[in-house]
Amino acid sequence: MKIFYSILLVLTTELLEINLLIVDECSRIHDFDVIILNNLSKVVIPELDGKIKGEAGKVAIIGGSIEYTGAPYFAAISALKVGADLVYVFTTENAAPVIKSYSPDLIVIPHNAINITSLLHSIHVVVIGPGLGRSTEGLNLAYETIRICKQFRKPLVIDADGLYAIYQNPVILKDYPSPGAILTPNNAEVRRLKQAVTESDIPWYKYWGDFVTVLQKGETDMYFSNNGDYDWSLHEGGSGRRTGGQGDILSGALGTLFNWGLKANLCENTKSAQLAQSVAAYAAAKFTRVCNSNAYKNHGRSMLASDMLNEIHKAFDELFL
């Protein structure tokens, strides 16, 4: 009995400390800075005790093609290793058995063999783009998914060839509803997106509405929220090694963290969803940089994306626990 009460006291104390931290950060949210971002990144991490399978997140990766099977794997396994309970990969019929062979932990489904609407209904966050390719089949899958997610108000992360789909048809994402979508372009993809949107007096990243935000990846990562309240930049960490697959690791991690940020209902106000987008994007960007930095220390120029996967546990503990 004494052990039980000791454990209860520890849990109660930890919960009180977290609640006080949230109150403190939310009271000064108008002075948004990296200190708030770092603290709230820790707050959104859910407890493991008392959970059932699925509560920590169901993430879907929409991507993969016969040419690109590694990208959806890196995104999916990262989402799973960061802490999602279930991760699905919806891909082409040819790519499915290849991706499935990489890991028995992933649920890999050919999209033409299922009713994608019924499956997406139970998903918490959808990541579109890793390895999707630019074929008509891939683009149509991206557009169909966006339309379904818009109807269900599903949180979206759009990366890689998902951004190419937006470049080809920018209107498809216009006025995407809360809790919104996060685009994760690199500098070259930003240039294409700027060319695609209608010219106006407003910044290009505001084209899609209040709940579509941009994490621009580069030597310095920059985040642009529609209202400007939760913008930030991040330069620390990482290395000069830009291995293929790093962006996929970020998008998968972001899928899990986005879900957690929304469930935390940060500051419990009308801007909670927009704040969750910013905090999740910051946490994912910093996390990916730490994975890259740690892997580079161990492997130098021979570092691969798979080496970064091996750093996920260490990076997670370093940043969030």
Mean pLDDT across 21-36: 76
- pLDDT exceeds cutoff 50 at 20: no
Please report, in range form, the residues annotated as the binding site for ATP: 217-221, 238-247
- What's the confidence (pLDDT) of residue 143? 97
Please report, in range form, the residues annotated as the binding site for (6S)-NADPHX: 131, 186-192, 248
* Per-residue pLDDT reduced to its tens digit, 30-40: 788 999 999 99
Output the CA torsion sign for 187, 195, 274, 178: negative
**What structural domains and CATH numbers belong to the chain?**
56-320 (3.40.1190.20)
- pLDDT exceeds cutoff 50 at 11: no
Please report, in range form, the residues annotated as the binding site: 131, 186-192, 217-221, 238-248
Strand partners, 214: 183, 224
Say whether pTM exceeds 0.95. no
Q: According to the per-residue pLDDT averaged within each range, which of 193-207, 260-274, 289-303 is highest?
A: 289-303
- pLDDT exceeds cutoff 90 at 302: yes
Separation of first and last alpha carbons in the chain:
28
- pLDDT exceeds cutoff 70 at 19: no
183-204 in b/e form (b: 16+ CB < 10 A) is bbbeeebbeebeebbeeeeeeb
* Per-residue pLDDT reduced to its tens digit, 68-93: 999 999 999 999 999 999 999 999 99
Tell me the backbone φ, ψ of residue 16, rounded to 5 degrees. Answer: -65, -40
- What's the confidence (pLDDT) of residue 198? 75
Mean pLDDT across 42-62: 93
213-248 in b/e form (b: 16+ CB < 10 A) is bbbbbeeebbbbbbeeebebebeebbbebebebbbb
- pLDDT exceeds cutoff 50 at 18: no
